Structure 1
Amino acid sequence: MWVFYMFSLPVAIGMVIVTLNYFSGPDVPKYVFFTVAYTWFCSVSIVILVPADIWTALNNYESGAISFLWSLSYWSTFLLTWAVVPTIQGYEDAGDFTVKERLRTSLHGNLVFYLSVGSVALFGVILLISLHKNYWSGNISGFAMACSNTFGLVTGAFLLGFGLSEIPKGIWLNADWNIEQKVLSHKVAKMAVKLDDAHRNFSNAIVITQATSKQMSKRDSLRPYMNIIDRMLLQMLKEDPSFKPQGGRLGESDMDYDSDEKSMASLRRRLKRAREQYYRYRSEYTKFVLEALELEDTIKNYERRDTTGWKYTSCFRPERIGKVGAFLETCEFLWKCILWKHVEKSLAVVLGVMSFAILLAEATILTSGVDLSLFSILVHAAGQQEVLVQLAAFIPLMYMCICTYYSLFKMGTMMFYSLTPKQTSSVSLLMICSMIARYAPPISYNFLNLINIGGNRKTVFEKKMGRINDAVPFFGKGFNKIYPLIMVI
């Protein structure tokens, strides 16, 4: 039962650490790094527990360990995503000068948000109890879990539906060099505009900071705060001597930052966010430019294959010499110019078939007697082979997670956050980990609805989630069976 889980758990830990090291920016504190790492790990652990849970249910095993691990992972993600992570996120985003003030700003912002949401929830609880007072057997904790689960199920249906169609289509289109070249050209041009705006905003923030510092006397009560901001600006310019502020202009209200402590905190926050935005856009612009140049290299090498003897030459590195170098040049040509296109198209076809199988399973989830879920058929076909059963469950479940998170990142990049190599800020990392934790249990529960274990058997996951949803009549079993049709449409 634990063969697959014990193998995948250390792999998951390694992937979380490597991914965080790759994306986290240079200024991310250690406590943020470990908070994000633990949140991601709890989210992944829920996903890798599902195959083991399916195996125990198929073989009528009673596993208290799975029940304990599931509860630990679920409640960890629940508390992290709704309480701990938002508090740390607000603390990191605050521009105040002391720990106490930053924490107060964070708690105040989160309190306002949760009071607004809580007032609506309280009205819902009162209405629910009054309408179902004779037979409502739920409790407040069950109601809270049901609301969290239903939020993930409903919004996750739209995210999953977009990813299921967009990922295979995108991979198929990327196999066409002409289309990919147009897409990269568009991305480079779009990112160049964003980079120019970010450079101007950062320049403005620097000019405003310097002007505010110059006009403030040494005896001013706010001077100690200004000194902190000056040191921060000096460190920024020292880290990147190549950056030259240009086009900085002062607006009518830009000299009002020296009025009180809160305004100084706003100035510090503005300078910090302008810097993060500039380096994030610069990193993304550089990445798209390099991808465009590499694609141009590939196209040129393919067009000149007869004259170069099917050897790959790159503008990023010197030509390899010797027999081994010539062999490597040929291998690189075959991979980049010949094979990779076919690999992409084959992968797009496989993922397209998997997307269709998921849609078919979701669309026929209400049917009884006939099992049209390909994943359910594969799980039962694996029989008593423990590893095969768990792989047959894990692969499509992971694909559903990838599709949902792909849509989540696409939406977030346009509005709230961005996952950029080596330049992702603390606030973005915390927001991303919060959203990942919020959707891991609903995606897993959705997938379990696609597996017909048979014989009135249920996984530990379904038993716990079933009790959660039965606690509130409005979020009953019928809803969980009907909502996937939204995603199919």
Structure 2
Amino acid sequence: MGVGPLVIEVLLTFFVAAVVLFQYGNWYRHHLVVTVAVLVAWYFSMLIVFVLPLDVSTTIYETCRSDLDLSPARQLREVSSSAVTENNFTETILHGLPLNVTNDTILTTTVPPDLKCPKPWSFVPRRVLLVFWRIVYWTSQFLTWLILPLMQSYTKAGDFTIGTKLRSAIIDNAIYYGSYLLIVGILLLYIALTDLGLDGAKLRTIAASASNTWGLFWLVLLLGYGLVEVPRSLWHSASIVHTLHHSYFHAAKLSQERAESNERVNDLLQSMRALGGSIDPGHPLHSHMDVIESKIPTELLDRIRRQPPPDSPHADVPSEKALVRLHKQLIKALQNQRRVETQWGLLVEKIVNLEDTHRNSISHDTSFKHSTPPRRHYILSYIYTPTIEWIWRCFVRGYLLRALAVCCALVSVVVVWSELTFFSTNPTISLFAVFVNLAKANYDYFTIEMISSLSMAYIALCAYSTLFKIRVLNLYYLAPHHQTDEYSLIFSGMMLCRLTPPMCLNFLSLIHMDSHVIKKHTEETYYTQIMGHMDVIKIISDGFNIYFPMMIVALCLATYYSLGSRLLSALGFQQFMCDDDLTTDLIEEGKTLISRESRRRQRMEDNAARRKDFAERFGGGESSASMYR
């Protein structure tokens, strides 16, 4: 079929990446350069996951052809009767006609490879795959190590011109890049001392090895948590009571963080008011103050203007450096406040829905009743009736989540077992390799591609879902409905580009298609031909095979027994522990906060309804209704 399947996957992947980015980002508010860079980062990372199975099936086909070409020529009998002559010999073989075997003359011929090795339905020519992987891999690496870190620092810089913001971004990344240059220098020195010789190909391999080693290190940490936590989260999600208690606990902690973020923003606004009191409209720095004020939401700016001016002047003398520092602090504080407010709004909606589900699940009525009428399209309301909603949310959903949790747990066990045994080739005990070999024996390329796609998708889910649950990285948060800020979008694109290539390289090891890891000759995928191998640096290649599986098992056991949560709780960072008194107190506090928030929202809705009713009855419009605001 040529490049048809590849073109279809490229177009579908672009559509998926664009839709997901549209759902999380804000194309109208965010800078165009940020949107394009994040779209390319997400798109190329998804392409690696979705196109690699095509590379695997193509490589299996090429391996079959290569093995057939190297095998001895088959001895076939020649038929010399008038019914089958030498000229129509091949045609007779292909049409399956019986041979006249009265003559025992032997003819040596080779069966065409396509008769023994059926071509995959998704076959992609070698030249196309090599060019494709070269563009995708090196573009994503250029983005993740150079462009996106600079853009991330650029978005939080407090300077007022493009040049000064770019300079601040470079300075901010100086230590970041310096540490990488130091590591590269050490690797080059090691290779020089071992007399391996250096050329362009080896330098590219060293760069890829350094990037993959960094990515594999983080992949171990993330998978060790995600392989256990993803099935466990699905299992707990089936219990409405457990999910509700966990959400109350989260609400109590988020409320504290919300108060701190609001207090921080208020302090900075007071500082801005005090500093701005010394800057008159004719002051040279007044334009910078206008830039700072443009970043502040209108309601906050109006509130600070209504307050009386501070009694004491600001400690800083009005200067460009002081305004840059204030601008940078305000950008960070407002970003944190928006993140917390977004999380709070989504959490309140989630808890209200959970409370409705819990109340309906213990009711004898099989018609779902909402505390507040949901806003739905009339077609959806006609199909998704209250009875169907009750069956789904109170009955079917729990069983489905538990079944999905069991399936995910089994896949996690397969992943851990394969990580422990992928270096064993005789016998082959890596389950992923066993499954692929069974499909390979029957030339079932579709099954091979499905196994590869679903396995890599699950590994990616475990790794990436963990990434945004880490408390240290709480500055980054992907919120739907266009609520994600630029900083978090750039971070997500950066991490996708860094973790996806080593994750796919690790999967090729699990299915025994990386000969430099399993120490057995096999045909290389075109993906690994572009990336190279880690065995240029023996310390990395030899140490990885030993410590990688050990760390996966150790981290999975630590996650299963919640050792990390217990340690953090002991250090004062309270985690959700079912048998802890402080957790119980926070659950009750969260329940009180949500009840108060629900009443506040109900009052706002009632007031809005009364204003609307008043305007409709007396025809006063907004001017009459505004009297009651």
Q: Same fold (TM over 0.5)?
A: yes
**Which residue of 1 is the match for residue 584 of structure 2?**
none
Q: Structure 2: give runs of 5+ residues left out of the alignment.
A: 64-124, 514-519, 555-629
Gap change, CA 1:319 and 1:394, over 3 Å in 2:
closer
Contact 2:436 2:451 in 1 (8 A): yes
2:222 to 159, 168, 175: 159
2:42 to 28, 40, 43: 40
1:360-396 CA distances to partner (integer Å, 9 max, x unpaired)?
1111112222222333333333333333221111001
> Tell me, what secondary structure is at the counterpart of 2:277?
helix
The alignment status of 1:347 with 2:404, answered yes or no, reads: yes
CA distance in 1, matches of 2:310, 2:429: 65
CA distance in 2, matches of 1:249, 1:146: 58
> Tell me, what secondary structure is at the counterpart of 1:424?
coil
Q: Which moved more, 1:102-111 or 1:329-338?
A: 102-111
**Which residue of 2 is the match for residue 475 of structure 1?**
540
**1:170: how far off?**
0.9
CA distance in 1, matches of 2:412, 2:530: 28
The alignment status of 1:237 with 2:298, answered yes or no, reads: yes
CA distance in 1, matches of 2:530, 2:401: 40
The alignment status of 1:314 with 2:378, answered yes or no, reads: no
Q: Which has the higher contact order (CA 8 A, sep 6+)?
A: 1
The alignment status of 1:266 with 2:325, answered yes or no, reads: yes
Gap change, CA 1:417 and 1:257, over 3 Å in 2:
farther
Q: Which moved more, 1:14-23 or 1:388-397?
A: 14-23
The alignment status of 1:205 with 2:205, answered yes or no, reads: no
Gap change, CA 1:258 and 1:55, over 3 Å in 2:
farther
1:380-439 CA distances to partner (integer Å, 9 max, x unpaired)?
333333332211110011111111111222226644422223332212211121011001
Q: Which moved more, 1:205-214 or 1:223-232?
A: 223-232
**1:478: how far off?**
6.5
**Which residue of 2 is the match for residue 281 of structure 1?**
340
**1:269: how far off?**
2.0
**1:325: how far off?**
5.4
**1:240: how far off?**
9.0
**Which residue of 2 is the match for residue 393 of structure 1?**
452
**1:477: how far off?**
5.9
Contact 1:52 1:390 in 2 (8 A): yes
1:222 to 264, 282, 285: 285
Gap change, CA 1:247 and 1:221, over 3 Å in 2:
closer
> Tell me, what secondary structure is at the counterpart of 1:372?
coil
1:230-252 CA distances to partner (integer Å, 9 max, x unpaired)?
3443xx215997x7899999999
**1:153: how far off?**
1.4
| Amino acid in structure 2 at the alignment position of 1:338 | F
1:133 to 173, 192, 195: 195
**Which residue of 2 is the match for residue 290 of structure 1?**
349
1:122-148 CA distances to partner (integer Å, 9 max, x unpaired)?
244224422x02667774332222111
**1:469: how far off?**
1.7
- Larger helix percent: 1
Q: Structure 1: give runs of 5+ residues left out of the alignment.
A: none
Contact 1:81 1:434 in 2 (8 A): yes
The alignment status of 1:335 with 2:392, answered yes or no, reads: yes
Size of the aligned set, in residue pairs, is: 479
**Which residue of 1 is the match for residue 67 of structure 2?**
none
Contact 1:213 1:230 in 2 (8 A): no
Greater Rg over alpha carbons, structure: 2
TM-score computed with the length of structure 2 as normaliser: 0.70
1:97-155 CA distances to partner (integer Å, 9 max, x unpaired)?
1111111111122233212432343244224422x026677743322221111111122
Correspondence list, 1:427-438, <5 A: 427-438=487-498
**1:179: how far off?**
1.1
Contact 2:274 2:310 in 1 (8 A): no
Gap change, CA 1:366 and 1:120, over 3 Å in 2:
closer
Q: Cα RMSD (Å) of the superposition? A: 3.1
The alignment status of 1:462 with 2:523, answered yes or no, reads: no
Contact 1:412 1:418 in 2 (8 A): no
CA distance in 1, matches of 2:43, 2:311: 46
**Which residue of 1 is the match for residue 106 of structure 2?**
none
CA distance in 1, matches of 2:318, 2:384: 68
**1:343: how far off?**
0.7
| Amino acid in structure 2 at the alignment position of 1:157 | V
| Amino acid in structure 1 at the alignment position of 2:143 | L
**Which residue of 1 is the match for residue 259 of structure 2?**
196
Gap change, CA 1:215 and 1:79, over 3 Å in 2:
same
CA distance in 2, matches of 1:251, 1:120: 53
> Tell me, what secondary structure is at the counterpart of 1:314?
coil
**1:455: how far off?**
7.0
Gap change, CA 1:192 and 1:200, over 3 Å in 2:
same
| Amino acid in structure 1 at the alignment position of 2:126 | S
| Amino acid in structure 2 at the alignment position of 1:28 | H
Gap change, CA 1:100 and 1:285, over 3 Å in 2:
same
| Amino acid in structure 2 at the alignment position of 1:96 | D
**Which residue of 1 is the match for residue 159 of structure 2?**
96
**1:8: how far off?**
3.5
Between the aligned residues of both structures, percent identity stands at 23
1:23-49 CA distances to partner (integer Å, 9 max, x unpaired)?
225632111011100011111111112
> Tell me, what secondary structure is at the counterpart of 2:62?
coil
**1:442: how far off?**
0.2
Gap change, CA 1:134 and 1:13, over 3 Å in 2:
closer
**Which residue of 2 is the match for residue 14 of structure 1?**
15
Correspondence list, 1:392-431, <5 A: 392-411=451-470, 414-421=473-480, 422-431=482-491
CA distance in 1, matches of 2:466, 2:309: 38
| Amino acid in structure 1 at the alignment position of 2:298 | L
Gap change, CA 1:163 and 1:247, over 3 Å in 2:
farther
**Which residue of 2 is the match for residue 111 of structure 1?**
174
Q: Which moved more, 1:2-11 or 1:176-185?
A: 2-11
CA distance in 2, matches of 1:481, 1:52: 30
CA distance in 1, matches of 2:326, 2:522: 62
CA distance in 2, matches of 1:82, 1:275: 27
Gap change, CA 1:285 and 1:245, over 3 Å in 2:
farther
CA distance in 1, matches of 2:487, 2:311: 27
Contact 1:362 1:450 in 2 (8 A): yes
2:55 to 28, 49, 53: 53
> Tell me, what secondary structure is at the counterpart of 1:28?
coil
Gap change, CA 1:288 and 1:246, over 3 Å in 2:
farther
